Amino acid sequence: MQPDDLDARLVQLLTDHPQLPILECARRLGVARGTVTSRLARLQAGGVISAIVPQVDPAGFGYDLVAFCSVDIIQNIGHEPVTEAILAAIPEVTDLYTVTGDHDLHLRVVARNGQDLQDVLDRISQLPGVARTSSSLALRTHIQGRTLPLLHAVTDSTS
Amino acid sequence: MQPDDLDARLVQLLTDHPQLPILECARRLGVARGTVTSRLARLQAGGVISAIVPQVDPAGFGYDLVAFCSVDIIQNIGHEPVTEAILAAIPEVTDLYTVTGDHDLHLRVVARNGQDLQDVLDRISQLPGVARTSSSLALRTHIQGRTLPLLHAVTDSTS
DNA sequence: GGTGAAAGGTCATTAAG
DNA sequence: CTTAATGACCTTTCACC
């Protein structure tokens, strides 16, 4: 679907003020309450808004280390068994992608400290189907999961 | 902070049923209403719950291509100017990390299609301070931003 | 547990593309 | 003619005491 400028401003407003009532949103955007309601419904139906749920941050309970890990898979094994094994066995894996390039899988993992990270990477390496892993530590997270600038860019160029 | 099993079940409940009233949460968890309220407040204050906001999914408005890009920075330039330039100029960058290893920065970018992706990568390459980029395309997103399994693992071993 | 107040869902009307 | 916005009604629910 194609969101417009009003959609972008609505999402921005809700992002800045998480629990702002719909009536207040309508007031600040200068539209009727029903408009805000229908827009929200349309955004959710269209998949632009995937969910409105509590965002759990692992750093909040000690997992403040982030690393990226590339996994090579043993040749004659499919991707599925390996990805399923990783997802099932390693809760520290927050993101898992099949990628092109030098390696097969790309994952983002979190850990409590260096020792814990080594343990996590070891557990991944020892999973059946995993041939080799290589990793790099995130020294600093400049931004993570930002999407609003893109949404604004799209709606600005549209209007 | 250290969340316990009740915290994990509360977050799980709210994740499964996004707009479940607090009273209903208390009923299903078998605790008093005030308990749920105070738990939620504590989780937010402690940073375990970072926010409860609409999750914007770029795939919802056409950006269904995901790629990872490694950036090498020109030696005598600091990281800050480059990261700031990237964040300011390229809205397609959703994640940006300073990392250890063969490269300096690790980013996640989204695009509308292959041609659009090439354009995005070109724009990154041409930013001042960027020496070189290399990228890999995500063929499949198995999981992204999952944290609940980790939360459950932590609280299970704690209890 | 009771009470005041506000939020959200629904609908008919109206304006606009 | 289709689509969307408006404003008001009504029911339900929440937070407070």
B4 interface with A at CB cutoff 8 Å: no
pLDDT at B19: 82
pLDDT at A115: 97
pLDDT-derived band of residue A49, with 50, 70 and 90 as boundaries? very high
Ramachandran bin of B30, using left for φ above 0, alpha for ψ from -120 to 50, beta for the remaining angles: left
Evaluate if residue A136 carries a pLDDT over 80. yes
pLDDT, mean of residues A39-58:
92
pLDDT-derived band of residue A158, with 50, 70 and 90 as boundaries? low
Residue B7 CA and nucleotide D17 C1' are separated, in Å, by 28
**Nearest by Cα to B103 from B82, B120, B89:** B82
Residue A35 CA and nucleotide C17 C1' are separated, in Å, by 17
> Over pLDDT 90: what percentage of chain A?
89
pLDDT, mean of residues A68-95:
96
Judge whether A24 and A36 are in contact, CB under 8 Å.
no
Q: Which residue is nearest to nucleotide C7 (CA to C1')?
A: A21
Min Cα–Cα distance to chain A from B29, Å: 17
pLDDT, mean of residues A135-152:
97
B151 interface with A at CB cutoff 8 Å: yes
Statement: the pTM of the whole predicted model exceeds 0.85: yes
Judge whether A66 and A118 are in contact, CB under 8 Å.
no
CA–CA separation, B40 and B36 (whole Å):
6
Annotate chain A with three-state secondary structure.
Answer: CCCCHHHHHHHHHHHHCCCCCHHHHHHHHCCCHHHHHHHHHHHHHCCCEEEEEEEECHHHHCCCEEEEEEEEECCCCCHHHHHHHHHHHCCCEEEEEEECCCCCEEEEEEECCHHHHHHHHHHHHCCCCEEEEEEEEEEEEEECCCCHHHHHHHHHHHC
Judge whether A118 and B68 are in contact, CB under 8 Å.
no
pLDDT at B159: 55
Query: pLDDT of chain B along its 159 residues, tens only?
Result: 889 999 999 999 999 888 888 988 998 899 988 899 999 989 998 999 988 899 999 999 999 999 999 999 998 889 999 999 999 999 999 999 999 999 999 999 999 999 999 999 999 999 999 999 999 999 999 999 999 999 999 988 755
CA–CA separation, A80 and B141 (whole Å):
12
**Nearest by Cα to B83 from B94, B70, B97, B69:** B97
Specify the DSSP element, H or E, that contains B83. Answer: helix B79-89
pLDDT at B158: 58
Evaluate if residue A159 carries a pLDDT over 70. no
Beta bridge partners of A136: A68
Token pair in block for residue A3? 């969101």
pLDDT at A51: 87
